[in-house]
Structure 1
Amino acid sequence: MTDELRDRYDVVVIGGGAAGLNGALMLGRARRSVAVIDAGEPRNAPADGVHGLLGREGVPPGELLAAGRAEVRAYGGHVVEGRVAKALKRDREFVVALEDGREVVARRLLVAAGVVDRLPEIPGLAERWGKDVVHCPYCHGWEHRDQAIGVIGSGPMSAHQALLFRQWTDDLVFFTHTAPELSAEDREKFAARGIRVVEGRIAAIEADGARMEDGRLVERRAFATATRMEARAGFLAGLGLEVAEHPSGAGEHVPADQFGKTAVPGVWAAGNVTDLMAQVGPAAVAGAMAGAMINADLIEAETAEAVEVHRLGA
């Protein structure tokens, strides 16, 4: 189901995940005209359920989003299927162009398009992503508790990831693969926690475990790996808003303050597009905060205009 896209809204939300929908919900309840433009590519689509979300523990991702879309529509918001090609500033407003040629004008923008996970290039890994290849222990650790888990070293967060997953299993292997060289301190921590280190690169992920380049098979039931996360934000280039490397080294994001405000006046960001580590709950909260801040910004602008008109008529 998709709504018809009107020519103009108070706010256009780019991205229909938890952050975007909750931002739109807040704006709809504030009696703002709002449209959510969603490309239909939720990051958590491969997962069986959303976890750590109070009151909705284990809910399938698609079911949660469907409920969110219905709630946004209940307050007059529109949810529109489409992919944004570019966004431009025109006078004091924004023009959002979709790939299919449609355009819409907005007074403010909320960017909540999320990220793309770039997996290590290991044959057999991507096919199991979201099932028995995971990245977040808080999202998936319980489902793989007490299993033989292998953490695939692939970036600066990999050693930290291994120490986290140790909470859910005693049988943990760390594959150095392409991770930075482990420090003596990390190796000592691993030894103290009973985490076995397997040196060398992985050639493929097979049904029974990891096949190393030297031919060894290291049996594992599940794998964890840190992805490189890339913000879906190329359409912002026309606004002069560019992505930046995240301080953690885990990928790139759209910089924003604690309220979601970006360096471009009138543009806010919420969810994984700016906070790479946010789970569904924090992403939704960030969307709500950004929605409230956008409404406050519009109120400030409208009040200033009203005062000006009032003075002219006095």
Structure 2
Amino acid sequence: MSYDCVIIGGGIAGLQAGIMLGRYQHRVLLIDSGKGRSNLCRKYNNIIGFPDGVSGPELRHAGVKQARSFGVETLESKVVDVHSNFIIETAEGKSIDTQTVLFATGIEENFPPILGMKECLGLSIYVCPDCDGYEIIGQKTAVIGSGETGAGLAIALKDWSEEIIFFNHGGAPVSLEMQGELRERRILVQQTEVDRFVHNGGLLEAIETAGDHRWDIDKAFLAFGGNRVQSDLAVKLGAEATDKGHLLVNPRTKMTNIDGIWAAGDVVDHTQFVTTAMGEGAQASVWIHKWLKGTR
């Protein structure tokens, strides 16, 4: 079967695009490997209509159900190649023909394997200060990061909390200038690795570091940098990207430099808000529809 659009990536951007394209009554297939970063978040706190927050898996489950209600087909698989004739190959050897492709492949987080971390993501451990800085007001907060990236976030978080401890996990170097700013902002720095997050149902209670030291902590942020933008397939196809791997798109249509190939969500260089991903998915779908109907 030939599709009007294949969406690669079933996260927030991909699902929003799928819902819109389904409502346009296009033949749509959404392929997802099940490993997207929104699967990790136990709670998004800043989405309109969810004053008590909503988890990534809950949002995705509702999105899949909604997309299917409009005729969107879903396939759990990994795409291994996209050919210039718009034939998509999956890990199982399946070939899929489509007129257009939307890359909503997102970012792979660079998280170290610290015990207890995944259970707390979005509940008491965060990654985005713009999204969740509010959550640490009046809370004793740890930043577990690497070198300059971690130090910079620790300094930024002083806007919300006076009690910040920076754990330089791995001991990457911090510039003298940054060290001075950490001292000036009265941020305690510990050159030690974090072994475990102690929590109760995802609510952080303490951090255990090398040498069996325990630090009572209310909240934490992760800041390691080095996240991998999952744009390899699009770049191989000839899509232009930034030095960091983010796909370049037309700001109005979200189409890449390749006619018939779009990108939306975190694979594009933007704020990485889940709400922005929703908007980009919807925006891309409008222009995919126009392209398919020849009205662009």
Task: Say yes or no: TM over 0.5.
Answer: yes
2 CA distance for matches of 1:173 and 1:266?
48
1:8 equivalent in alignment to 2:41 = no
Which residue of the other structure, out of 161, 166, 170, is the alignment partner of 1:174? 166
How far the C-alpha of 1:78 sits from its partner, in A, is 1.7
**1:198 alignment partner, SS class:** strand
TM-fit CA distance, 1:96? 0.8
Q: Which residue of 2 aligns with 1:150?
A: 142
1:231 paired with 2:229, answer yes
Partner residue of 2:88? Answer: 96
Which has the greater radius of gyration? Answer: 1
Whether 2:49 is the aligned partner of 1:52: answer no
Which residue of structure 1 aligns with residue 25 of structure 2? 31
Distance of aligned partners of 1:82 and 1:111 in 2 relative to their CA distance in 1, 3 Å threshold: same
Alignment TM-score, normalising by the size of structure 2: 0.81
Q: Would the alpha carbon gap of residues 109 and 206 (structure 1) be closer, same or farther in structure 2, given more than 3 Å must change?
A: closer
Q: 1:118 to 1:205 in 2, by over 3 A?
A: same
Q: Is the 8 A contact 2:11 2:38 kept in 1?
A: no
TM alignment of 1:183-194, pairs within 5 A: 183-184=176-177, 187-188=180-181, 190-191=182-183, 194=185
Identity of aligned residues (%): 27
Report the equivalent of 1:295: 289
2:99 is matched with which residue? 107
Contact 1:14-1:37 at 8 Å conserved across structures: yes
Of stretches 276-285 and 134-143 in structure 1, the one that deviates more from structure 2 is 134-143
Counterpart contact for 2:40–2:118, Cα < 8 Å: no
Output one character per residue of 1:33-66: Cα deviation in whole Å (capped at 9) or x when no partner: 2111112223132332222111134122222222
In the other structure, the counterpart of 1:61 is 56
Q: Return closer, same or farther for 1:220/1:59 CA change in 2, 3 Å cut-off.
A: closer
**By how many angstroms is 1:269 displaced?**
0.9
Contact 1:88 1:238 in 2 (8 A): no
Encode CA deviations 1:265-292: one digit per residue, 9 max, x unaligned: 2211111122363121100101111111
Matched position secondary structure for 1:44: helix
Partner Cα distance (1:12, 1:64) in 2: 21
Distance 1:203 1:12, change over 3 A: closer
Gaps of 5+ in 1: 1-6, 247-251, 304-314
Count of paired positions: 284
Tell me if structure 2 keeps the 8 A contact 1:174–1:196: yes
After superposition, the Cα gap between the structure-2 partners of 1:218 and 1:122, relative to the gap in structure 1 and judged at 3 Å, is farther
Deviation string 1:144-169 (CA, Å, 9 cap, x unpaired) is 44222111332554344223322332
Q: Retained in 1: the 8 A contact 2:38–2:57?
A: no
Q: Please say if 1:267 is aligned against 2:258.
A: no
1:125 touches 1:204 (CA, 8 Å); kept in 2?
no
What's the TM-score, normalizing by structure 1?
Answer: 0.77
Matched, 1:83 2:81: no
Alignment correspondent of 2:188: 197
CA contact (8 A) 2:147 2:168 kept: no
C-alpha contact (below 8 Å) 1:113/1:273 kept by paired residues:
yes
CA RMSD in angstroms comes to 2.9
Q: Is the CA contact 1:11–1:35 (under 8 Å) kept in the aligned structure 2?
A: yes
Q: 1:167 to 1:184 in 2, by over 3 A?
A: same
Following the alignment from structure 1 to structure 2, what is the Cα–Cα distance between the partners of residues 239 and 155?
35
1:24 is paired with a residue whose SS is helix
For residue 280 of structure 2, what is the aligned residue in structure 1?
A: 286
Q: Is the 8 A contact 1:210 1:220 kept in 2?
A: no
Offset from partner CA, 1:52-85 (integer Å, 9 cap, x none)? 1111341222222222223222332222222212
Secondary structure, counterpart of 2:81 in structure 1: strand
SS at match of 1:89: coil
Q: How far apart, CA to CA, are the structure 1 residues paired with 2:142 and 2:153? A: 11
1:196–1:212 CA distance, 2 compared to 1 (3 A) = farther
3-state secondary structure, aligned to 1:11: strand
CA contact (8 A) 1:230 1:253 kept: no
